[in-house]
Amino acid sequence: MTGWMLLTTPRIGKLRLSGALARLSVVLVLLATVVKASDLGSLFWLQADMAAMLILIAATIIYLPACLSSARYWPAFWMGVAILALFVFAHVGFVRRSGMGYNFNAIFAYFPALTFLPFIRSRVTIDRTLYYLAWISAGYIVFFTLGYEWIIAAAKEVDSHILKMGDYQRGLRVMFAPAFAAYAFFFMWEWRRGNILFRSIVMAMSIWAIWLSDYRTFLALFLLVCILRAFRSLNLLVRIGIFITIIVGYAILLAGLIIPQWEPFSYFMDDASGFARLLAYRHVSPFVTDNWLLGIGIAGSSADLQAYLRVPTYYSVYPTDLGPIGPLLIYGIGGLCIYIVLTACMIIARLPMRSGARTPGRMALHLTSLVCAVQGLISPSFMLENNVLFPALLFSGWVQLRQMRNRRRDYNAILG
């Protein structure tokens, strides 16, 4: 027995170390994504956003070639290569159209789209990954709500861009990533085994954080999904109905590009935010129609984008405020098709659920994805911003669970 233990202990220790490093890498990637989305890191360290970006870059450099180690990881590898090629092609296209210089650093801002690489290749289960995200999100919203006044004071002191001068109706706002608050809320709701008092506190803080941030549309959609979930009304037929409704909304917004005098955003011009979107919609429409096939591409900086679009100095154009027109503007018709496919995946598709409260993260992921997808009518955050983490997690879950199903089938075939 002693000799057997001496022979096997180093191997067990190595496996444990490998597992610990894998879990650490997943936690770091999740932390980096939340830090990048929240902008809170700059209040403690001015280079926090850069550090988060370097973590995401390092994860891609390490895990993309690592996916070649086995055929079961090839879907992740080819997906990663395709996404990187899309980013590079889009930036090169913008440079050629605008005549401005190359700045490939700009594509790093889109690297949260590649977070599925470490999630899949690290072999950390999707449920454990979602569990980590729940605690990171909970920590984020607790800090945001309890430290709200301190955040404002500290941001003014260091002149942080986390403070945003909003429209005349909302005034000064603190930038917030409400999708992570929604995820923390849904996770605590579904986590039946957790302490009821703790769960209630986190859920209350999640709602309060979204309220403080004044994301009115997101809050309304979030509450709507909560009601549908409370009444167990999110069956497949309802989700398909929601998807069809969203596609009709996309069509209405896109129709304004080809129908003269039709401006869908004009119906919201009484609202300051809606009026800003109307101005942007009017401004980018000719650029979209002239570049509908391949889009204008990824600009080297926000200043380059505003200069290329010849935006007046009294307002700015953000593709992330234009719903499906944002991906169409940047990536062309192919980007719009990807956007529609992502919308369908986030609304209709689901990861398999196990009985009981063993998979609260999966349901929280689906509910959060649903909120983000419906919000896609006005904000393509799940494709052009950090909320792309949620479709990346969905893809990771599908690949992992497919691998498990295939291994179980092979095992049963051997036994049979």
Each residue's pLDDT tens digit, 358-414: 689 999 999 999 999 999 999 999 998 899 999 999 999 999 988 776 656 544 555
Q: Does the pLDDT value for residue 271 go beyond 90?
A: no
Band the pLDDT of 170: cuts 50, 70, 90.
Answer: low
DSSP of 110-135, one letter per residue? GGGGGTHHHHHHT---HHHHHHHHHH
What percent of the chain is modeled with pLDDT above 90?
A: 66
What percent of the chain is modeled with pLDDT above 70?
A: 90
Residues 188/194, Cβ–Cβ less than 8 Å: yes
pLDDT one-digit tens code per residue, 106-138: 999 999 999 999 999 998 999 999 999 999 999
Q: Does the pLDDT value for residue 189 go beyond 70?
A: yes
Give counts: helices (H), strands (E), the chain.
17, 2
Band the pLDDT of 82: cuts 50, 70, 90.
Answer: very high
Residues 291/335, Cβ–Cβ less than 8 Å: no
Specify the pLDDT at position 39: 87
Specify the pLDDT at position 407: 59
Specify the pLDDT at position 13: 39
- Which amino acid would we find at residue 119? F
User: Residues near 346 by Cβ (< 8 Å), separated by ≥ 6?
Assistant: 369, 370, 372, 373, 382, 390, 391, 394
What distance in Å separates the CA atoms of residue 103 and residue 109, rounded to the nearest whole number?
12
What distance in Å separates the CA atoms of residue 37 and residue 56, rounded to the nearest whole number?
13
Of 12-21, 41-50, 222-231, 253-262, the range with the lowest mean pLDDT is 12-21
Specify the pLDDT at position 3: 38
Give 173's strand partners: 164
Specify the pLDDT at position 356: 47
Which residue reads 């999640």 in tokens? 206
Q: Is 350 helix (H, G, I), strand (E, B) or coil?
A: coil
Element containing residue 143 per DSSP (H, E): helix 126-146
Q: Is 46 helix (H, G, I), strand (E, B) or coil?
A: coil
Q: How far is CA 191 from CA 51, 172, 183, in A?
A: 32, 35, 12
What distance in Å separates the CA atoms of residue 369 and residue 218, rounded to the nearest whole number?
12
Of 8-17, 32-41, 314-323, the range with the lowest mean pLDDT is 8-17
DSSP state of 283: H
Specify the pLDDT at position 275: 81
Specify the pLDDT at position 228: 95
Residues 377/323, Cβ–Cβ less than 8 Å: yes
Q: Which residue has the higher pLDDT, 214 or 252?
A: 252
Which residue reads 């919308």 in tokens? 343
Q: Is 217 helix (H, G, I), strand (E, B) or coil?
A: helix
What distance in Å separates the CA atoms of residue 316 and residue 319, rounded to the nearest whole number?
10
Specify the pLDDT at position 251: 95
Specify the pLDDT at position 11: 39
What distance in Å separates the CA atoms of residue 318 and residue 335, rounded to the nearest whole number?
16
Band the pLDDT of 171: cuts 50, 70, 90.
Answer: low
pLDDT one-digit tens code per residue, 141-159: 999 999 999 998 988 888 7
Residues 38/140, Cβ–Cβ less than 8 Å: yes
62: buried, middle or exposed (CB in 10 Å: 19+, 13-18, 0-12)? middle
Q: Quote the mean pLDDT of the chain.
A: 88
- The torsion of the CA quartet 352, 355, 357, 360, rounded to 10 degrees, works out to 10
Specify the pLDDT at position 414: 57
Q: Does the pLDDT value for residue 314 go beyond 80?
A: no
What distance in Å separates the CA atoms of residue 255 and residue 253, rounded to the nearest whole number?
5
Tokens of 241: 């109905």
Q: Does the pLDDT value for residue 167 go beyond 70?
A: no
pLDDT one-digit tens code per residue, 233-270: 999 999 999 999 999 999 999 998 988 778 887 777 66
Specify the pLDDT at position 223: 97
**What's the mean pLDDT in 313-327?**
89
Q: Does the pLDDT value for residue 91 go beyond 60?
A: yes
Of 14-18, 308-312, 370-374, the range with the lowest mean pLDDT is 14-18
pLDDT one-digit tens code per residue, 273-294: 778 888 889 899 999 999 999 9
Cα 44 → chain centroid = 24
**What's the mean pLDDT in 94-117?**
94
Specify the pLDDT at position 67: 93
Kindly give the residue spans of alpha helices, DSSP state H, lying in 266-332.
Answer: 272-290, 302-309, 325-331
Band the pLDDT of 192: cuts 50, 70, 90.
Answer: confident
What distance in Å separates the CA atoms of residue 324 and residue 319, rounded to the nearest whole number?
9
